[in-house]
A and B are shown apart, each in its own frame.
Chain A
C-alpha cells in the first residue's frame, strides 16, 4: 500500500475512532464528580483493616494483589528476554574499552551521589506503604544508582558492581516470593495471597501485614531487573565501540 493510501486509511479510521471516543467520554460523569463505592471501600480497607497509610499501596499489594504479581512476572519476562536478546548477539570475547576517563568533577559528584541515591532508593522502597513510593519506584531509583556508578566511575567498577548472574538470581528470587507467599497462604487455609499477618500500627514501618513483604520483594525484583537491562544496554555501547561492527547481512 502506498504511503498516501496508508494516510487516507489512517485519517479515516483514527478520525472516526477518536470522534466516537470523545462523544463516549462526554457520557461519562463530569470530571471530578465520579464517586465510586470501590474507591471508598479501598480507602477503608487500607486505613481501617490493614493500617496502611498509603491506600494506593494497599490496593496494589493487597486488594488487587494478583494484578501486581502478574505485572512482576511481565517485568521478569521482558527483562530476561531483553538481557538475552542483546547478550546473544554480542561476541563474548570482545574486549571492553578501557576507562573513558571522565573529568574529575563528574567523578567526584558521581561517587558522592551514588551513596545518596542508594539511600534514597531504599527509603522509597521501605516507605512504600506509608508515604508515596513503593517497590517499583524505589527499585528503579536503586537501578539508577548502578547507572550512576558507570557515569561517574570507571566501566570496570560498574561491571564489578553488577554481576549478571547475581542480578538474574536476585530478580528471580524477588519475583518468586509472590507465588510462594500465595501458595503459602493457600496452604494455610485462607485465600491465595490473603493478608494473614497482623496489621500493626498505622504510619509505622511495622504495619499493613504482608504488604511490606511483597513490597520488599517487588523492590528487589525491580531493582535487579532494571539494573540487568541497564547493564545489557550499556554493554551494547562498549562491545560496539571496542571493535568495529562486523559486516551486516
Chain B
C-alpha cells in the first residue's frame, strides 16, 4: 500500500511529459484516451487509498529519508481517508472534464491535456502533502496550469483578464505562504507539519505564531475564494472554458479549506489548545459572513458561469465555517459535503457548457425559454441545483447533517442555520435560472441581475453531434455519484472515525516522529435524525421559494417592492460596485484581508 501513494502524483506527471514529447505526432483519439486513462488511474488508486487507510493513515517519506531523532528531513505524505477522498474527487472530476472536452481543442501540441494532467497532479499532491514547503510547491503546480487554462480562449477579453487576475492574486498568496514558512522554520527548524506542531506545542502562541497561522490562512483563503479574497475567483471561473470550471469550482477551491484544516490540526492545534474558542470565533465569522455575501452576489448574476462562480465562493465560506468548529464530526461532515457539493457543481458546470454549445449563449435572460426542448439537461440542472440546496439524501445534505450535529454539540446551533441560508440563497439563483431557461417562467428581462457583455462565447468551434450526449452523460454520472455517496453504508461513521484520528495530535506525533502506528480508527455509529431531514427539506423549499420570488418579483404587492427597494437597494449597489473587475482593487482587498486576519489573530489569540 505504501508503494501506491506516490503514483497518483507521478502517473499524471509522467503522462503529461510523454504527451509533451510525442503528443504532436499522435492522433487526437490516442491523446484523449491517454489523458482519460491517466485520470482514471489516479481516481482508482486514490479510491483504493481511501479504503486502505480506513484503519490508520499512511505516512510515506520520499527519497527514503525517514524521521531521525525527532527530525523529519524528507518530504512526507499523510494519506488518510479524508484527504484520499478529495484526491479521488479530483480524479473523478478530471475524468468528467476530459470526457466532456473530447475533441474540444485542436492545436498541434495537446496543450489542454498536458495542463489538465499537471493540474490534477497538483491537486492530488496538495491534498496529500504533510510538508509546509511541499504544500507551497503543489499550491503553485495547481495554480499555474489552472490560470493558463483559464486564459485558453485568448481571442476573447474576459478569459485574458480572468487569467491575469488569477495568476497575480494566487502568486501573491504563494508569497504569503513563503513568509509563513520563513517564520515557522526560523522558530522550529522544521518544515514537516507534525514536526513543527510538536515544536510549537511547548509554548503558548506569541505574535510570531499567530502571524504565521494568519499568513497560511490568508494564502489558502485566496485559493478557496472566501470574502474578501474572492474577487479574482468570480472573474476567472466565469471566463474559463466549462471543462476547466468543473475542476476549478468542483474541487480546487475546497482543497484550500481542507489545507487550513490539516495545517491547523497538525501544526497549530497544540499551541492554540487554550485559545481554540477564539480561533473558532474568527474563522466561523469569516466563513459565515463570506458565505452570505457571495450567496447574495450569486443571486444577482444573470451570467450562468458567474452565478456558479459566486456559488463556489459562497460554499467555500460554508466549508470554512464548518471546518472551524474543530470537532471530528464537523471535519467529517465538511469533507462529505465537499465531495457531494463538488460532484453537483461539476454536473452544473457541464450543463452550462452544454448550453453554451447548444444555444451559443450563457446568459439566463437571453436564454429565456430557449431550453424547452432539452429535457435531459433540464432534469440534470434542476436536480443538481436541488442537491446543492441540501436536498436529502444527496451528499451535501449528509455533510450538512453531520456539521449540524457537531455545531449542536458545541451549542452553536445558529451556525448551521446561517450556512443553510447561504446554501438556499445560492441554490435559489440556480433554480431561478433553471426555471427561466428550461421552462420559460418569469420575465424576459430583470434590471436587478447584472449581465456580462455578450462576447462570441462559442465553446466549440465546429459542430459535433456526438458531443451533447457525451456532456450530459458525464454530468449525469457525476450527479449519480453525488447521490450514491450518501447511500454508502456506514459512511458517516467511517468519516467521523477518520476525522477523530486526524485530530488526535499525540498519536500523530508518535506515528510520524517515532513510527508508532496509531490505534485503529473508531467512532460511535452516526444517526441522521428526522430533524436533519426536516432542515434539509426546509432549505430546498426556501431555495425554491426564493427562486420563484426572483422570477416573479414584479408581481409582488407594490408596498413590498418599494420597501425592499429602499432597504436593499443601496447595500446591493455598493456590493456590486465593489466587484469592479479592476486588478488594483483586488490586490488592495487582498492586502486589507490579510491585514485583517493577522490583526484578528494577534488581538484575540494570545
Contacts and interface: CB of A to CB of B under 8 A. Distances in A.
Interface of A: 1, 3, 6-7, 9-10, 12-17, 20-21, 23-25, 27-29, 34-39, 41-42, 45, 62-67, 69-71, 73-74, 76-78, 80-81, 84-85, 88-89, 165, 168-169, 171-173, 175-176, 178-180, 182-183, 186, 190-195, 249
Interface stretch (B68-76, B290-298, B323-331, B547-555): B68-76
A229 to B, nearest CB: 13
30 contacts: A6-B582, A9-B591, A13-B590, A17-B598, A20-B595, A20-B598, A25-B208, A27-B206, A27-B207, A28-B187, A29-B186, A36-B185, A38-B73, A41-B73, A64-B75, A70-B137, A73-B141, A74-B137, A76-B20, A76-B118, A81-B115, A81-B148, A85-B148, A169-B20, A169-B22, A179-B11, A179-B14, A191-B62, A192-B63, A195-B64
Given A13-B591, A73-B13, A192-B10, A171 B20 contact: yes
B48 interface: no
B179 interface: yes
Contacts of B578: 1
A197 to B, nearest CB: 13
Interface stretch (B91-99, B106-114, B269-277, B375-383): B106-114
A180 B14 contact: yes
B24 interface: yes
A42 B71 CA distance: 11
Given A10-B591, A24-B183, 17 more contacts: A13-B591, A14-B595, A17-B595, A27-B207, A35-B189, A63-B63, A64-B133, A70-B137, A70-B140, A77-B144, A81-B145, A88-B107, A169-B21, A176-B14, A176-B20, A192-B60, A195-B64
B6 interface: yes
The 7 closest A-B pairs by CB, nearest first: A13-B592, A36-B189, A172-B20, A16-B595, A24-B211, A172-B21, A81-B148
B451 interface: no
B151 A13 contact: no
A139 to B, nearest CB: 16
A12 B595 contact: yes
Interface in B14-73: 14, 16-22, 24, 60-65, 68-69, 71, 73
B121 A73 contact: yes
Interface string B571-606: 000000110101011011111111110110010000
Interface secondary structure of A, over-half rule: helix
A35 B598 CA distance: 27
Given A74-B141, A77-B115, A67 B133 contact: yes
Give the contact-size bracket for chain B: 35 or more
Contact of B63 (A9, A38, A62): A62
Interface secondary structure of B, over-half rule: helix
A217 to B, nearest CB: 11
B424 interface: no
A42 B191 CA distance: 13
Given A6-B585, A25-B183, A195 B63 contact: yes
A186 B183 contact: no
A38 B591 contact: no
Contact of A77 (B11, B65, B114): B114
B190 interface: yes
B225 interface: no
Given A1-B578, A84-B109, A173-B21, A191 B75 contact: no
